[in-house]
Structure 1
Amino acid sequence: MCSSESYLSSLDVQIVDLTVEDIRFPTSLELDGSDAIHPSPDYAACYVVLNTNSGQRGFGITFTLGRGNEIVAHCIDSLRFLVVGCNLKEIFTNMGAWLYKVNNEGQLRWLGPEKGVIGLSVGGIVNALWDLRARLEGKPVWKILVDSTPEQIVSLIDFTYLTDCITEEEAITMLEKYRESVEDREKDIVDNGIATYTTAVGWLGYDDNKIRRLSKQFLSEGFTDFKMKVGSNLQDDIRRLKTIRECIGWENNLMVDANQKWSCGQAIDWMKKLTEFKPLWIEEPTSPDDVIAHKQISEALHPYGIGVATGEACQNRVMFKQFLASGGMQFCQIDSARMSGVNEVLAVLLMAAKYDIPVCPHAGGVGLCEMVQHLQAFYLIRLSSSQKNRWTEWVDHLHWPFTNPAVVKSARYIVPNAPGYSTELKEECKRDYAYPNGKVWKELFNSGKYVDPSLKQKMFPLPHKI
């Protein structure tokens, strides 16, 4: 654990500039990432770089599906006054209080608070702050969190609106619970990795032959847990689930994901027709904000052994509080780029641990696997009662752009050891995939293979400084 003398001693640097870039990948061309409500996404990232007076830099990511990435990028740029000129040590001394001020800025708060574009934007900045801190301390983010005392972790969290669920005193007690076994639990995670499941076989736009080929590939790599997208056409779902069950057998776990497609009653009726395939969970069956509907769906599907998983599009810690306390989720899915980044995720992990609801993070995207492995390592070492039924999503694409990409072997994340949050992009990635003037995008536009109607409208250049 960190001693009080060494805590934050290396962070006495000033942030002197913030830049943000719009980075996109044309995943829609192969229908990678396709689901019932997002048929042709272009996985994209707003890439935040913090520069300091020491020369050290921090790199942060927040994630979108293409169009709209420029909106988040402009929002990040508009938030620069909240971070540029700040001392990093002062931010981390009581980061929960600092985040309260950021999320409740007197005018910007009207656009949120703590959700939507504002939440994504603050998340990108906070993730960059953590990468910067970890580089200055020479540790990966997960290790900083694991080595922190309960009091230090609690100081990172804004408990506003949460104390009816969990207080700071309760959080400290929970973090003390496994303190004596931390070294053994850490060794287990470092030696054996973090369990995964994969969605890469089951995107909605994939045909049956591709499902068979990818199922065979991932089985050979040691995967035993698979997820398939559903929700647009019942007969297609039945056919595709039959196909994947024929490939992976009945001894392996199968999850399904509707990506918010259905109403409450429709979700219940549709899932009852899929019970023969024995799905472990239905993910995002309805609106990600509808706590009551999730509770009703959970109760209706419980007799069939089907749980409800949700959280990847959950806007903030207050929504998570309601899902967890109400029984509306049986599997808690955090997302490393939503809410307010690392700190708000910590609040959710504490609440999930209180209710002993397994955390199974959402990943994939651009940089989500890279970041979420740090969060799950902390959760498993410091908070989780078990490793059973606690998988982290893995999608085997878009890792090459990073200088320290996430690595999975034998269906387990290898815990990173490089300093930082695993979020630094290679220079060639920025050169080729910056939107809309990167090399790859220019070639696609010129060839006629890709048309973006939004480019016909006037766009502000980035960064937009006054």
Structure 2
Amino acid sequence: MLHTITSLTVRDVRFPTSLEQHGSDAMHTDPDYSVAYVVLDTDCGLKGFGLTFTVGKGTEIVVCAVQAVAALVVGKSLQEIVSDFRGFYRLLTSDGQLRWLGPEKGVIQLAVAAVLNAVWDLWARSEGKPLWKLLVDMDPKQLVSCIDFRYITDALTEEEAVEILVKAQEGKQQREDHMLEEGYPAYTTSCAWLGYSDQLLKQMIDANQRWDVAEAVSWVTSLAEFRPLWIEEPTSPDDILGHAAISKALAPLGIGVATGEQCHNRVMFKQFLQASALQFVQIDSCRLGSVNENLAVLLMAHKFQVPVCPHAGGVGLCELVQHLILFDYVCVSRSLSNRMCEYVDHLHEHFSSPVVIKDAHYMPPKDPGYSCEMLESSVQSHQYPDGDVWTRINK
């Protein structure tokens, strides 16, 4: 595993989804689904692929941020990184000058996510395993050593995290076999539905941050007869106490609150959980600091007994987050109760290992890596602003 990273390249890849308003919502009316796409080259020829998701303008800023942290990665060996992954995570998120632009939030955290996603992809490829399997097979202490517990020990200690993972060792193989055979339940976005095994349909409503707190309570109360399972992002994604107030008001109606796709970091998730401000955790594979930080949130959510229903869609989010939710079921939550993973049938054809959906279930990926690799032809044609697609549009 002595693969030394010799170079990091990052490209601005955009898809003109705004032309037909694909993916538009109440707050993002004209998104061009995009990625800052990272490739790590090594001295042995093995590559690692990573990305972070954006919606068009601003991707060039994330690309600049990736370039700013590249010097912290190039020249390091994979063994050096993963033997102290917690330390490497802190190296990227705590640079003495770049940290001021965060810390651990915004553009810098998106850039860190892209780079670390590529490192995890490289690690999984070096082991010949899909990322979810790399995580599932990892010793609990080794896995916990990848997590930065700074700022969250009042909600989850390293010892507690190890205990959760050790306890989940019992029955792990049976759960893994079940996932390989049945897959993980998927749900659609926005005014969504979920099919349970008993054929009961439940709706989920996505407000996309549109309302103030009082407006959210009023609107959702008026929709109570439809008995939605949750209201998603009912107000500002940063307003933890606002979400807590909405959760308290809707609890008698049996309606939960879901949020997290624009939650900056593990510290914010800690506070959401401590404040009982959400009933469904929606992690995102590219918003947080890659797998390392998502592991922390999965473990905290389990401790607080809140189900995880990840955000996906966009470009590549489905491909990546399926690995995290498979790991969560096999090694953390051990439950499928009120748990599902968002899915959008969109842009998967641009990936070397696209998601496989069977009977509304994610089927576990089999190819080595984190499913981040895009087809080079797609990258070249959609690279902004000089790719063939954008050259034609901008004529």
TM-score normalised by length of structure 2: 0.97
Q: Which residue of 1 aligns with 2:314?
A: 365
CA distance, structure 2, for counterparts of residue 345 and residue 132 of structure 1:
18
| Deviation string, structure 1 residues 122-149 (Cα, Å, up to 9, x no partner) | 0000000011111111000000100011
Structure 2 partner of 1:450: none
2-structure distance, mates of 1:431, 1:385: 41
Query: Mean alpha-carbon deviation: is it higher for 273-282 or for 318-327?
Result: 273-282
Q: Say which of 291, 306, 318 aligns to 2:255.
A: 306
- Partners of 1:251 and 1:99 lie apart in 2 by 43
Q: How far 1:445 sits from its partner (Å)?
A: 1.7
* Superposed CA offset, 1:266-308 (max 9, x none): 1111111111221110001111111100000000011111100
1:276 match: 225
- 1:355-394 Cα offsets, whole Å, 9 max, x none, are 1110000000110000000000000000114111101000
* Residues 330-350 of structure 1: CA deviation (Å, up to 9, x unaligned): 000000001211100000000
* Residue identity matched to 1:100: R
Name the counterpart of 2:157. Answer: 167
Distance 1:201 1:272, change over 3 A: closer
- Distance change (3 Å), C-alpha of 1:431 and 1:200: farther
Contact 2:285–2:291 (8 Å) recurs in 1: yes
CA distance in structure 1 between the aligned counterparts of 2:195 and 2:165, rounded to whole angstroms: 31
* Contact 2:190–2:206 under 8 Å retained in 1: no
Letter in 1 for 2:97: Q
Where in structure 2 are the equivalents of 1:211-360 lying within 5 Å? 224=195, 251-360=200-309
Whether 2:37 is the aligned partner of 1:47: answer yes
CA distance in 2, matches of 1:326, 1:189: 33
Q: Partner residue of 2:126?
A: 136
Q: CA deviation at 1:94?
A: 1.7
Do the aligned partners of 1:334 and 1:360 also contact (CA within 8 Å) in 2? yes
Structure 2 letter corresponding to 1:50: L
Residue aligned with 1:51, SS: strand
What is the CA–CA distance in structure 2 between the aligned matches of 1:55 and 1:386, rounded to whole Å? 40
Q: Give 1:13 deviation, angstroms.
A: 1.2
CA–CA distance in structure 1, aligned partners of residues 195 and 393 of structure 2: 37
The residue identity in structure 1 corresponding to 2:268 is M
Q: Distance in 2 between matches of 1:93 and 1:338?
A: 24
Distance across 2 between alignment mates of 1:385 and 1:281: 22
Give the superposition deviation at 1:101: 2.1
Structure 2 equivalent of residue 208 of structure 1: none
Query: Secondary structure of 2:348's partner?
Result: coil
User: What is the identity, as a one-letter code, of the residue corresponding to 2:2?
Assistant: D
Aligned residue type for 2:39: V
Task: Check whether the contact 1:200–1:396 (CA below 8 A) recurs between aligned residues.
Answer: no
Q: After superposition, what is the alpha-carbon deviation per residue over 1:393-421, rounded to whole angstroms, capped at 9, x for unaligned?
A: 00001100001001111100010010001
Q: 1:403 aligns with which of 327, 330, 352?
A: 352
Per-residue deviation, 1:224: 2.2
In 2, Cα distance between the equivalents of 1:393 and 1:138?
27
CA contact (8 A) 1:18 1:50 kept: yes
2:3 maps to which residue? 13
SS in 1 for 2:2: coil
Whether the aligned pair in 1 keeps the contact of 2:189 and 2:206 (CA below 8 Å) is: no
Q: How does 1:439-450 map to 2 (within 5 A)?
A: 439-446=388-395
- 5+ long unaligned stretches in structure 2: none
1:193 Cα offset (Å): 0.1
- 2:181 corresponds, among 178, 188, 191, to 191
* 2:149 partner amino acid: F
Task: Give the one of 70, 82, 99 matched to 1:92.
Answer: 82
Match of 1:150 in 2: 140
Secondary structure at 1:276's aligned position in 2?
Answer: helix
- The letter for the 2-side match of 1:156 is C
* Counterpart Cα distance in 1 of 2:266 and 2:278: 14
SS at match of 2:350: coil
Q: CA deviation at 1:200?
A: 7.5
Separation in 2, partners of 1:285, 1:375: 25
Give how far 1:32 is off.
Answer: 1.1
Kept in 1, the 8 Å contact 2:185–2:339? The answer is: yes
**1:251, 1:150 → 2: CA distance?**
37
Question: Are the counterparts in 2 of residues 366 and 399 from structure 1 also a CA contact under 8 Å?
Answer: yes
Task: Give, as a single letter, the amino acid of the residue that structure 1 aligns with 2:78.
Answer: L
Q: Does 2:383 match 1:393? A: no
What is the match of residue 372 of structure 2?
423
Task: Choose from 106, 116, 122 the match for 2:112.
Answer: 122
SS in 1 for 2:333: coil
* Identity %, equivalent residues: 53
Secondary structure, aligned partner of 1:180: coil
With over 3 angstroms needed to count, the CA separation of the structure-2 counterparts of 1:331 and 1:201, relative to structure 1, is: closer
Checking the alignment, whether the CA contact within 8 Å between 2:50 and 2:119 is kept in structure 1 is yes
* d(CA) in 2 for partners of 1:74, 1:441: 20
Matched with 1:71 is 61
Q: How many residues align?
A: 393
Of 361, 376, 381 in structure 2, the residue corresponding to residue 432 of structure 1 is 381
| Cα shift at 1:31 | 1.3
Unaligned runs of 5+ in 1: 1-10, 203-214, 216-222, 226-249, 447-466
In 2, Cα distance between the equivalents of 1:101 and 1:402? 30
Q: TM-score, normalised by structure 1?
A: 0.83
Tell me which structure has the larger Cα radius of gyration.
1
Residue-by-residue CA offset, 1:223-245 (whole Å, 9 max, x unaligned): 627xxxxxxxxxxxxxxxxxxxx
